């Protein structure tokens, strides 16, 4: 079945993702039900399922309303308490959606939250607030080691994988990426492209994993230029990529 992948803006900078078939759709991380209901009505679609990556309200807050309206399953992380979730999932399990003749494999990717999961299928990964374009999520409930392993897990997907994350942070993330790697031509080119898209109020997403490997400092913690930048910022030698990740994540937290 052919799908249309639609980013629905919500709140200040969120995206709710709608994966639409000819008659039905799946909503991913609906923090607000209203944009989903409006998109479904406009396209004359029924909602077949809701996928939730983690418990934060801007990703899960509209799930119960949508489930009640369409009597559909709500998939979510088994390791987090989300009231609307009635199909809890762990790594290796799948979100099966017969109405769209599709299923998504689950990856556990803790770091931003303790039980955060991603959904992979159809050359797409819905990765919530773990991997952003040119960035990654803050460590609210996990450790640098956990997040580093989670990003490595996502980075093992094919280069062509569409990165469908939860926020429009790309322009700001690229400013930081340039602070880490000011001579990286891929970052410079992407920054120009992203700024032009945002000037027209268009999304920079989805990105691709191949692009992210070239521009995202959090996926490049073994690259010499990133290591050198992290060591200069830290003021001492760093022993491994996890220590590099920890330094640049802390650096990003205070970067303006």
The active-site residue out of 29, 54, 55, 116 is 54
The active-site residue out of 29, 32, 55, 59 is 59
- Give the torsion through C-alpha atoms of 22, 28, 34, 38, to 10 deg: -20
Bridge partner list, 50:
27, 74
Q: For this structure, is 59 an active site residue?
A: yes
Q: For this structure, is 167 an active site residue?
A: yes
The active-site residue out of 167, 186, 189, 193 is 167
Query: Who's near 203: CB < 8 A, 6+ residues apart?
Result: 7, 9, 15, 168, 197
- Kind and range of the H or E run holding 39: helix 33-43
Q: For this structure, is 122 an active site residue?
A: no
Query: Who's near 108: CB < 8 A, 6+ residues apart?
Result: 77, 79, 90, 91, 115, 116, 117, 150
Bridge partner list, 136:
131
Q: For this structure, is 233 an active site residue?
A: no
The active-site residue out of 112, 159, 183, 253 is 112
Q: For this structure, is 129 an active site residue?
A: yes
The active-site residue out of 29, 55, 116, 129 is 129
Beta strands in the chain (DSSP E): 4-10, 14-20, 24-28, 46-51, 74-77, 87-89, 94-97, 102-108, 117-121, 124-128, 131-132, 135-136, 162-165, 207-208
The active-site residue out of 32, 55, 58, 116 is 58
Q: Locate tokens 């009635």: which residue?
A: 86
The active-site residue out of 32, 55, 56, 116 is 56
Q: What's the residue count for the chain? A: 256
Active centre residues (catalytic): 54, 56, 58-59, 112, 129, 167
């Amino acid at each position: 079945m052919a799908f249309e992948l639609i980013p629905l803006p919500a709140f200040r900078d969120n995206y709710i993702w709608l994966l639409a078939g000819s008659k039905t759709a799946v909503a991913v991380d609906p923090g607000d039900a209203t944009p989903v209901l409006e998109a479904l009505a406009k396209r004359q679609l029924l909602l077949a399922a809701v996928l939730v990556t983690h418990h934060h309200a801007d990703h899960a807050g509209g799930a119960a309303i949508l489930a009640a309206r369409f009597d559909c399953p709500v998939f979510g992380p088994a390791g987090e308490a989300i009231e609307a979730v009635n199909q809890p999932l762990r790594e290796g399990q799948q979100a099966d959606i017969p109405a769209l003749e599709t299923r998504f494999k689950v990856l556990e990717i803790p770091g931003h939250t303790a039980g955060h999961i991603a959904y992979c299928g159809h050359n797409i990964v819905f990765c919530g607030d773990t991997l952003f374009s040119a960035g990654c999520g803050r460590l609210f409930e996990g450790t640098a080691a956990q997040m580093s392993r989670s990003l490595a897990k996502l980075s093992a997907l094919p280069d062509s994988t569409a990165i469908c994350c939860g926020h429009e942070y790309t322009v700001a993330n690229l400013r930081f990426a340039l602070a880490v790697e000011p001579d990286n031509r891929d970052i410079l080119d992407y920054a120009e492209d992203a700024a032009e898209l945002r000037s027209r109020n268009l999304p920079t997403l989805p990105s691709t994993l191949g692009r992210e490997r070239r521009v995202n400092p959090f996926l490049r913690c073994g690259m010499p230029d990133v290591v050198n930048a992290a060591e200069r910022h830290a003021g001492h030698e760093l022993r491994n990529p996890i220590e590099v990740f920890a330094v640049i994540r802390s650096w990003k937290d205070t970067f303006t």
